[in-house]
Amino acid sequence: MKLKKIILKNGMPAFLFKIPSSKSVTTLVMFKTGSKYENLKNSGLSHFLEHMFFKGTEKRPTTRDISGELDSIGAEFNAFTGKEYTGYYIKSQKAKVDIALDVLSDMLINSKFEQEEIDRERGVIVEELNMYEDNPLMHIEDVFESCLYGNTPAGWETIGFKKNILNLNRQDFLNYYNSQYGANGSAIFVAGNFSEEKIKKSLEKKFGNFKKNKYKNKIKVIEKQKTPNLKIKNKKTDQITLSLGFRAFPAGHKDERILKLLSVILGGSMSSRLFIGLRERRGLAYYVRSGVELYSDCGYISVQAGIPKNKLEESIKVILSEYKKLKNDLVSSEELKKAKDLFAGRLIVGMEGTDDFTNWYGHQFPFSNKFLSPDEVLKKVEKVSSKDIKRVANNLFMNNKLNLAIIGEGIKDSDVKKYLKI
């Protein structure tokens, strides 16, 4: 099975992945825009606009008209906003794909963005923002990225500033939509069991007249760091939540798969080094994990954990010691094989639905013109050696790339900075 590319009459690319055994079809429309494409005055607009596409068109005037029609065919539908992309998808039974395409294109091309609906939705988004801020495990990466990138779009939260959410008006939405939404900077991904001839005709009919927009690119991230960075968000909590990590490199870097395997070894599973060292042996955390986030012009690896208030120093030392071990010692062949098998198993298990395929290819779109299949990624992973792991660890785990974000109560910079060195 191969990804097939077609170009609509307006220049918009569509990528088709046919799965004959499937009983469903998923269509995902990705836009190469998100919160890093905003400024101080409209921060949060990308996410707010995502909500507004579900509020009504001329053909389907209300939210109920849109959701009711999709519910009537048993479809799954949603949207998501990131820092460098925004996506909208519908998954339906294969016999109903034309209805799904009609609704999806109508939402994206003909939404009304009524001021009354904008005003009504403000409260919803403010409560969504409050939900994140009240959950440190959900919020800690926002604080970590603020530590990394400061007062820039890359360092702001995707959901935006509360004052903007309360004051953005219809013209703000139209300005952003006319710039960032259209045939330029977007792509369609379709996966499932469909007639190729029929899907091509339907895509052309539904999306071929999507306007050619004057797409505006984001400000590039400039990384300048000489010493370890620390950011503390004071908040009354029952535990301390932290994220400790290092600047890395952008998506598509030659060492991307090596870094992801390194993260698996560090804290990517219940048998990983940090899960055992921080939780099982020392009882310092219930929640502990590591992860890699790579953007088009920057990236990082981090470890997140929720720890007791009186165990911050010990926890930082344990986490940093595991980072150091990856710099100083070769990972055994047995541990590396286990990490590769875990990576492969999760990837394969995570590719069983048509929506998994659209997500797989769609999330590569903002970062590359060439998409890698799951098999191609697994081949790259299989070639990673213990020496590769050690090389990347030594390249990245340095004091001038070290960052720590903390959410907790009564913590002073002076209490923490003295431990921040590797």
Q: What is the pLDDT of residues 340-351, one digit of tens each?
A: 999 999 999 999
The stretch 32-47 carries a mean pLDDT of 98
Q: What is the pLDDT of residue 29?
A: 98
Edge-to-edge order in the sheet of strand 229-234: 229-234, 402-408, 240-247, 299-307, 288-294
**Tokens 């009186």 — which residue?**
310
Query: Is the model's pLDDT at 67 over the cut of 90?
Result: yes
Distance between CA atoms of residues 243 and 302, nearest Å:
6
Q: What is the pLDDT of residue 350?
A: 96
Q: Which tens digit of pLDDT belongs to each residue from 260-283?
A: 999 999 999 999 999 999 999 999
Q: What is the pLDDT of residue 186?
A: 98
The stretch 314-326 carries a mean pLDDT of 97
Buried b / exposed e across 219-248, counting CB within 10 Å, b at 16+? eebeeeeeebbbbbbeeeeebbbbbbbbbb
Strand partners for 229 = 403
The stretch 362-370 carries a mean pLDDT of 95
Q: What is the pLDDT of residue 355?
A: 98
Burial of 171 (0-12, 13-18, 19+ CB in 10 A): exposed
**HSE-up of 59 (CA within 13 Å, CB side)?**
12
Query: Is the model's pLDDT at 415 over the cut of 90?
Result: no
User: Which DSSP symbol is given to 308?
Assistant: -
Which residues have a catalytic role annotated? 50
Distance between CA atoms of residues 341 and 292, nearest Å:
18
- What phi and psi values does residue 188 have, to the nearest 5 degrees? -110, 140
Q: Which tens digit of pLDDT belongs to each residue from 290-309?
A: 999 999 999 999 999 999 99
Q: What is the pLDDT of residue 2?
A: 86
In this prediction, residue 220 has a pLDDT band, given cuts at 50, 70 and 90, of: very high
Contact 279, 403 (CB under 8 A): no
The stretch 157-164 carries a mean pLDDT of 97
Q: Which tens digit of pLDDT belongs to each residue from 224-240?
A: 999 999 999 999 999 99
Q: What is the pLDDT of residue 369?
A: 87
Distance between CA atoms of residues 419 and 422, nearest Å:
9
The stretch 179-204 carries a mean pLDDT of 97
Q: Mean pLDDT for the chain?
A: 97
Query: Is the model's pLDDT at 22 over the cut of 80?
Result: yes
Distance between CA atoms of residues 106 and 93, nearest Å:
19
Query: Is the model's pLDDT at 1 over the cut of 80?
Result: no
Question: Which tokens in the block code for residue 14?
Answer: 């569509």
Over pLDDT 90: what percentage of the chain?
A: 98
Domains and CATH numbers, the chain: 3-207 (3.30.830.10), 229-419 (3.30.830.10)
Q: What is the pLDDT of residue 208?
A: 97
- Vertex 165, ends 52 and 120: CA angle to 5°? 50
pTM across the whole model: 0.95
Distance between CA atoms of residues 190 and 333, nearest Å:
39
